[in-house]
Amino acid sequence: MLDFFKAVSSRVEEISPIWSEQDPLSSGQIDELEILFRQLVSDLKSVSSYDPIWNDPDSKNAELQHVWETLSAIIQLYRHWALFSIQGAHKALTTGKEKVPRFFAPVVLNATANQDPVLDYRRAKLVSLPKVRSYRNLTIHILRSNGLGKTAMRKAGEARLRHLAQFVSEHTKPGDKWMVVTHLATEALARKHLPEEIALTGHWGSLDGLNDFRDCNKAVLFGLSFRDPAWPVSMYFALRGAQTKEWLRSKEAKAIRHKLEVMSIAAQVIQALGRPRSRKVIDEEGNCLPTDVFVTLPNTSVGRDVESAIGEAFTGAVIRDWAYDLDGLGCQSKQKASPSVAVVTAMKNKSPGRYLISAIAKEVGLTSTETANLKDALRKKRAIVDDLRRLGVSYSVEGSGRGAKSYLVKR
């Protein structure tokens, strides 16, 4: 099998079906493999080690859970169809399966139901409620650009978020409150540069239904959470059944991939646009309080279709161009950075485990002096220690002298 995957990985296609319906192994072999994997995890539980992470029950269980999830994913790849995809230097195997029972027929109240591929596939009857909201007090400023994905934003995050912090400060009036949405990987950087007294941060994937930002009259949706290139195909295969390699090259496949990608991005953006003060109704005409939202969309057909979906969802909203330089070359922010706040935000978004302080410092762009000050604050139990403790995070040092290593451990 290893030789087979090596051969597949040399293909130039972005997405290729590996197997369809016919398992590469018999069902009996797959069952045996699952038993073997379960035994492996069971044996790992009994292993003793001098490694501190292995002697801490919470850390050990978190590691074992990660191992079991990985092994279970391998089993699922063998039980169903599989796709092999290439995105830059990254290669992935994916599969999927519909889990909603076919006889299940619920009534769903969903503001983004038009963007739900499962409801679309089920040909659900979407009943539009009367338009009782007016968004004429909502102004949406749109920047059409490229380089909005996680990789590009992470690579240029320090400079871009420093520039954004300057934009926020320059466009803040007394009483203004900002909501700033970034990728999970760059939220800590945003928190480092944004003025804490006027800006709240969130990240893509954790906004749906939140009321945390309901008092914000200004917002920035900075970057977009793009799905993996194989996601639209995987979703379609899970709902309709596996298709052939020839189908992947067809016009139908291209149209379906485009539609699902638009639906995915539109749903996230529409949810985010409904989080700040625009969600509040202030009169019998259904108006909201004056709200300005600055949005970044790709300068592609996907971006244009997402923009159309925004216009349909927010009746009467004013849509304008956002004249903004994403990278702000040569810009120097006057805002004072907040390294401690950035570290706390980074740990808030982490899964349980041990993290080298040097790695966290690199992630949030701390200088060597800022990193040294952070360690000093942790040793002297300053305010950051209490902030981290509330997240279940503790500080630990292993070794002594030059060989010592400092960690933040999240339970």
Q: Measure the CA–CA gap between 67 and 60, rounded to whole angstroms.
A: 11
pLDDT score of 24:
66
Percent of the chain with pLDDT over 90: 51
Q: What is the pLDDT of residues 393-406, one digit of tens each?
A: 999 998 888 888 89
pLDDT score of 102:
63
Tokens 């800590």, residue?
188
**CA-to-CA separations, 331 to 328, 334, 335, in angstroms, rounded:** 5, 10, 12
Nearest partner of 361 among 348, 374, 349, 351, judged by Cα: 374
The CATH architecture one would assign to domain 339-410 is: Orthogonal Bundle (1.10)
> Would you give the DSSP letter of residue 179?
E
Instruction: Tally helices (H) and strands (E) across the chain.
Output: 16, 12
Burial of 303 (0-12, 13-18, 19+ CB in 10 A): buried
pLDDT score of 246:
86
State which fold the 138-321 domain adopts: Rossmann fold (3.40.50)
- Where do the structural domains in the chain lie, given as residue ranges? 2-94, 138-321, 339-410
Q: Measure the CA–CA gap between 198 and 172, rounded to whole angstroms.
A: 8
Laid out side by side, the sheet with 318-321 consists of 199-203, 178-182, 218-221, 291-298, 138-145, 318-321
Q: What is the pLDDT of residues 139-186, one digit of tens each?
A: 999 999 999 999 999 999 999 999 999 999 999 999 999 999 999 999
pLDDT score of 330:
46
pLDDT means per 10 residues, the chain with 411 residues, are 53 67 70 86 76 70 85 86 80 80 63 77 72 91 95 93 94 97 96 94 92 96 92 89 86 93 95 94 92 97 96 94 84 68 93 90 91 92 92 89 88 84
Phi-psi region of 365 (alpha: psi -120 to 50; beta: other; left: phi over 0): left
pLDDT score of 3:
55
pLDDT score of 106:
63
Take residue 276 and report the two structure tokens written for it: 């700040």
Q: Measure the CA–CA gap between 390 and 382, rounded to whole angstroms.
A: 14
Burial of 245 (0-12, 13-18, 19+ CB in 10 A): exposed
**Which residues, at least 6 apart from 289, have a Cβ–Cβ distance to it below 8 Å?**
137, 217, 277, 278, 280, 282
What distance separates the 2 farthest-apart alpha carbons in the chain? 69
pLDDT score of 158:
92
pTM as predicted: 0.83
Q: In sequence order, what DSSP letters do the residues of 201-236 get, joined into one string?
A: EEETTS-TT--TTTT-SEEEE-S--PPPTTHHHHHH
